[in-house]
């Protein structure tokens, strides 16, 4: 016996079986990366305060939340996908109406007890809703252009709201992660080529809508030496710190650029530079190796999942995680303009930590329930 949303009744797993199937290797990697992050925040702040202790306090409940999310049947996330998306969309609207302003942007909602950044939660909700939609489609239906209109709208609406904050970096990553799901679902490459072509053609128009600080970031990326004490200061100091670290670094707590406060935003956007200065290229490669193992685990989970929903969720979450690591590292090394993207589990941040732990929990839920078959739920003709 089964229904269209829950699948076979005998697919339910006991708690003991779920704990046995839990991806403990992935759990260990998450703890290791977070440990690196707390260590770097301790060094950047010259002690447990003001960042390291708070990050640890946030991680502990987030760690248990990750387990709870992982043990919930993956079919539950299928059922609540549209509701979660609608809730996050509503929060993004609230940000525009009554959001808290910080560093020139309106991205947060202050609930008194805690401050929430809804765009972070949308990263997960958008993956769930797209996976839910495409799960109900056949290959033939995906080839019909009109069938792609609803998911495109699902992507563009939150992206537009995030752009209004303004938050170009997160908006771009939402688009890229969504593109990975579209591709994995079977959307033809020529349709991507059309979208990319239209995007390139719209660059001159989009340039006119950029804020002044966003334009300065592009100019700084192209020529950071043009304003070494202004817009180019961050990336110049970052490159100095990266180069001074050498092969093995200056030692824990001995980085001059971070300890003498030459390096800006050292606890958030540029935390990777703190690590590179103190532990050199060796330390940087070790951290990137840990991230690479997380990516491998994520894509293996996607490949082994039997349901289309599980595969797409795993691909979407893993791609999103990869993009945030790639963009942050590329940003602080001068390969792309500075866009204010944190390094997952290492940069200081409450909502980012919460979102990452929830995302990893959902990914592990897909792993635990990888044998569960979820019937297609139907789609528009």
* 233: in domain: yes
* 184: in domain: yes
Q: What is the pLDDT of residue 99?
A: 65
- For residues 46 and 232, the model is more confident at 46
> Residue 138: is its pLDDT beyond 50?
yes
- In total, how many domains does the chain have? 1
The predicted-structure confidence for 240-285, as pLDDT tens digits, reads as follows 888 888 899 998 988 878 777 777 778 888 999 999 999 999 999 9
Q: What is the pLDDT of residue 223?
A: 62
Share of the chain above pLDDT 90, in %: 51
* 208: in domain: yes
How confident is residue 2, by pLDDT bands cut at 50, 70 and 90?
very low
Average pLDDT rounded to a whole number, residues 202-211: 68
* Structural domain containing residue 61: 2-368
* 377: in domain: no
Beta strands in the chain (DSSP E): 2-3, 7-8, 100-102, 105-110, 115-116
Q: What is the pLDDT of residue 287?
A: 97
- For residues 166 and 361, the model is more confident at 361
The predicted-structure confidence for 291-312, as pLDDT tens digits, reads as follows 999 999 999 999 999 999 999 9
Q: Are 317 and 362 in contact (CB under 8 A)?
A: yes
- Which of 31, 28, 29, 42 lies closest to 348 in space, CA to CA? 42
Average pLDDT rounded to a whole number, residues 359-379: 84
State how far the Cα of 294 lies from the Cα of 362, in Å rounded to an integer.
Answer: 14
11: region left, alpha or beta (phi > 0 left; psi from -120 to 50 alpha): alpha
> Residue 139: is its pLDDT beyond 90?
no
Q: What is the pLDDT of residue 381?
A: 38
**Helix, strand, coil fractions of the chain, as percent rounded to 5:** 70, 5, 25
The predicted-structure confidence for 317-329, as pLDDT tens digits, reads as follows 999 999 999 999 9
> Residue 1: is its pLDDT beyond 60?
no
Q: What is the pLDDT of residue 144?
A: 87
How confident is residue 106, by pLDDT bands cut at 50, 70 and 90?
low
Q: What is the pLDDT of residue 4?
A: 41
* 381: in domain: no
* 356: in domain: yes
> Residue 371: is its pLDDT beyond 70?
yes
* 253: in domain: yes
> Residue 78: is its pLDDT beyond 60?
yes
> Residue 104: is its pLDDT beyond 60?
no
Q: Are 271 and 343 in contact (CB under 8 A)?
A: yes
Compute the mean pLDDT over every residue in the chain, rounded to the nearest whole number: 85
The predicted-structure confidence for 157-169, as pLDDT tens digits, reads as follows 999 999 888 788 8
Q: What is the pLDDT of residue 188?
A: 85
* 376: in domain: no
* pTM greater than the 0.95 cutoff: no
| Phi and psi torsions of 116, nearest 5° | -115, 140
Q: What is the pLDDT of residue 191?
A: 81
């Amino acid at each position: 016996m089964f229904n269209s949303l829950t699948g076979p009744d005998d697919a339910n797993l006991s708690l003991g079986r779920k704990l046995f199937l839990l991806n403990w290797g992935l759990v260990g990697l998450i703890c290791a990366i977070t440990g690196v992050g707390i260590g770097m925040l301790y060094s950047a702040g010259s002690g447990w305060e003001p960042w390291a202790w708070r990050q640890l306090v946030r991680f502990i409940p987030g760690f248990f939340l990750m387990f709870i999310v992982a043990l919930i049947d993956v079919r539950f996330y299928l059922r609540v996908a549209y509701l979660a998306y609608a809730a996050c969309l509503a929060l993004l609207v609230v940000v525009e109406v009554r959001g808290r302003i910080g560093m020139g942007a309106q991205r947060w909602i202050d609930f008194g007890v805690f401050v929430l950044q809804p765009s972070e939660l949308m990263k997960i909700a958008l993956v769930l809703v797209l996976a839910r939609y495409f799960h109900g489609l056949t290959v033939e239906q995906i080839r019909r252009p009109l069938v792609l209109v609803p998911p495109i709208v699902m992507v563009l609406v939150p992206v537009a709201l995030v752009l209004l904050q303004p938050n170009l970096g997160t908006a771009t990553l939402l688009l890229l992660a969504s593109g990975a799901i579209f591709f994995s679902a079977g959307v033809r490459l020529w349709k991507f080529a059309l979208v990319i072509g239209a995007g390139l053609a719209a660059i001159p128009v989009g340039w006119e809508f950029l804020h002044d600080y966003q334009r300065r970031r592009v100019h700084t990326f192209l020529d950071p030496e043009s304003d070494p004490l202004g817009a180019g200061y961050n990336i110049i100091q970052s490159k100095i710190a990266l180069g001074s670290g050498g092969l093995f670094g200056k030692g824990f707590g001995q980085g001059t650029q971070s300890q003498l406060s030459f390096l800006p935003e050292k606890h958030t956007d540029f935390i990777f530079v703190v690590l590179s200065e103190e532990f050199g290229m060796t330390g940087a490669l070790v951290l990137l190796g840990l991230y690479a193992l997380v990516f491998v685990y994520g894509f293996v989970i996607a490949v082994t999942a039997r349901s289309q929903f599980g595969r797409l969720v795993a691909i979407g979450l893993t791609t999103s995680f990869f993009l945030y690591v790639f963009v942050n590292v590329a940003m602080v090394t001068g390969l792309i303009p500075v866009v204010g993207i944190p390094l997952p589990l290492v940069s200081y941040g409450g909502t980012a930590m919460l979102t990452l732990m929830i995302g990893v929990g959902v990914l592990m839920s897909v792993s635990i329930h990888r044998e569960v078959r979820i019937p297609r739920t139907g789609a528009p003709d």
